[in-house]
Structure 1
Amino acid sequence: MSKDVYVVQPNDTLARAKNLMISKKVGRLVVMEKDKIVGILTKEDLAKALLPSKPSLKARPIDQLLVLHFMRKNVLTIEYNVDISEAAEIMLDKKIGGLPVTWGGKLAGIITTHDITKYVAQMKTGMLVKDYMRKDLSFVSPFHSISHVSDLLFKNPIHRVIVVDNEGKPVGIVSPSNLAFVKFTPVKKVLTKRSVIKGGEATHMKINYIAIATAGDIMSTPVIIVHENDHVETAASVMVSKDIGALPVLDSEGHARGIFSKYEVLNIASKKR
């Protein structure tokens, strides 16, 4: 587990939460109120808040949106002496990426999929990536809109979308971090349209065009990959060293055949009890 736990309060703004995640390089914050754990806010929650479906939220900047309305409530916790494999089993069963750790009823740390991945990276399993990878992939072109990408992203259990070229080979990957922490300024083009009024002089009209952000603008690239016949501990080591949550799995021809994520890591760790 990590003893460095970053905390926000229910009435803090999403802007503060976002800045804290970026500055501390973490994907989840524990929400505390009067020394009591009342929620968890993840980068997935933040990404959804930045791309809201409700019209009433679309017009509001995140410095006016409160953690209270986007955090996950009914938080599961574990005691500090729980076995790491049991923690992995709980996270896998509940489809969550982290558990606050308590000692004597007080917050003492947090265990996340990153900690579990470190554990698996040190194992000698002999197991192959192809036997554990997920095969239900979501693909987009670099030119698909961010709206389309986000729809696919949150329908996929591991929240990853692979960006492929015309030959079907991976050129990038999009995760909730790309949506939540993107710094994209659309390119503004100004064109001049010339027209002539009969019997008069030529007139010019300026027309503004705003570029629409696409998958290619926000994706992580180059793609860090793993191969079908690599060992799972090798894949886990890459994930730890690169601090990423999923790896496209390529066949011998360079095509994506699956994806190996931290949820596959949880599956492996949970079986070591």
Structure 2
Amino acid sequence: MIKECMNPEVYVVAPQETIARARNLMLKHGIGRLVVIEDDEPIGIVTKEDIAKRLSQAEPIWRRRPIDDVPVRIVMTENPLTIPHETSAAEAAEMMLENGISSMLVVKEDDGRRKLVGIVTKQDLIRHYSKKTYDTKVAEIMETDIVTVNRHHTIDHVLCEMEEKSVGTVVVMDEENPIGLISSDSIVFADFLHRDSPEKEVKMARKDSTGGRRSYRYVREVPLVAEDIMAPIDKTITSDALAVDAAKMMVSMKTKSLLVIDDTLVGIVESDGILKDIVKKDAIRR
């Protein structure tokens, strides 16, 4: 049941508060979403994915000012889906997959009114799955259509790729070798969000003498690139490993993606793959 794997702690934010406030709350509590409350009622959810998605869209209503000054109301998802606390994990997984969402509010009937008692996320369902003894192999749940970017690609390019391919994670490559991952976490919590444009300062050197002595002459602003914000690849898994072991690794690493490498990169385990197996196992059990 959802009540056994949900998180009873729900962190909230007001719709008029800024993205800066939302980001700080997410960082402080190690979470990826906030429930937006107005007049003691939940009116929306704002997630790291919402913020990252908006970054890739040139909407004049808010792109004219730094993202941190934008009110939560503009980037939140309105009318969040709710789910009864007696619902099964498989039903919750199916609803998330069908609606393309990563969390749902958990409610309980109390004197004829629906009371908010928690929130359930994809990560909660992955944790639930990791405790099972299923024999599903990683090869059965991994994605083989991997979206990659070069380590020198700009952040704008990365954002466009994520938006156009409808993915939450891209793999950063150095020629044929995967060297990092970029997810909505990497982008939303990156320092460049505090600035008007994603740039970094680079000291430019020139040779001063025939002896080869070099000195820094000036500073040049250049666009941030993928390798500047990627998360290094710490652990990988093979395609013949158990899917529950992949889930355990994802829980311990607090990640939504895990690369599958059999000598070369062959796939990526994403949360949706695990949710689909939860639904599949429930259908078989019935």
Give the equivalent residue in structure 2 for 1:178. 186
- Residues 219, 87 of structure 1: CA spacing in aligned structure 2 closer, same or farther, 3 A cutoff? same
Determine which of 60, 79, 84 is the counterpart of 2:65. Answer: 60
Residues 33 and 146 from structure 1, CA distance in 2 versus in 1: closer, same or farther, beyond 3 angstroms?
same
2:171 and 2:68 mapped to 1: Cα distance? 31
Q: Post-superposition shift, 1:257? A: 1.4
- Matched residue, 2:203: 189
Alignment root-mean-square deviation, CA: 2.0
Cα distance in structure 2, aligned partners of 1:176 and 1:154:
11
1:225 maps to 2:236: yes
Between Structure 1 and Structure 2, the one with more helix by share is 2
Give the one of 82, 90, 93 matched to 1:88: 93
> Counterparts of 1:1-40 in structure 2 under 5 Å?
1-40=6-45
For normalisation by structure 1, the TM-score amounts to: 0.89
- Give the one of 260, 263, 266 matched to 2:272: 263
Q: What residue ranges of structure 2 are gaps of 5+ in the alignment?
A: 1-5, 193-198, 209-216
Taking the aligned partners of 2:123 and 2:54, their CA distance within structure 1 comes to: 24
**How far, CA to CA, are the matches of 1:155 and 1:229 in structure 2?**
31
Separation in 2, partners of 1:36, 1:55: 29
Q: Which residue of 2 aligns with 1:199?
A: none
The residue aligned with 1:201 is none
* 1:75 Cα deviation after fit: 1.3
In structure 1, the partner of 2:83 is: 78
Please tell me whether residue 43 in structure 1 is matched to residue 48 in structure 2.
yes
Note the C-alpha offset of 1:12: 1.2
Q: Describe the SS at the equivalent of 2:44.
A: strand
How many residues align structurally?
A: 259
User: What do residues 193-246 of structure 1 show as CA deviations (whole Å, max 9, x unaligned)?
Assistant: 99xxxxxxxxxxx75411321100000003432211111000000000000001
Flag structure 1 segments of 5+ consecutive residues without an equivalent: 195-205
Percent identical: 34
The aligned counterpart of 1:109 is 118
* Counterpart AA for 1:176: S
Higher strand share: 2
Q: Write the distance in 2 (CA, Å) between the matches of 1:182 and 1:149.
A: 14
Task: Tell me the residue number matched to 2:165.
Answer: 156
Out of 258, 266, 276, the residue aligned to residue 247 of structure 1 is 258
Kindly provide the CA deviation profile for residues 36-85 of structure 1, in whole angstroms up to 9, marking residues without a partner as x. 11111010111234454124533312343111111101211001111111
Opposite residue 164 of structure 1, the aligned amino acid is: M
Offset at residue 97 of structure 1 (A): 0.7
The match for 2:222 among 201, 211, 214 is 211
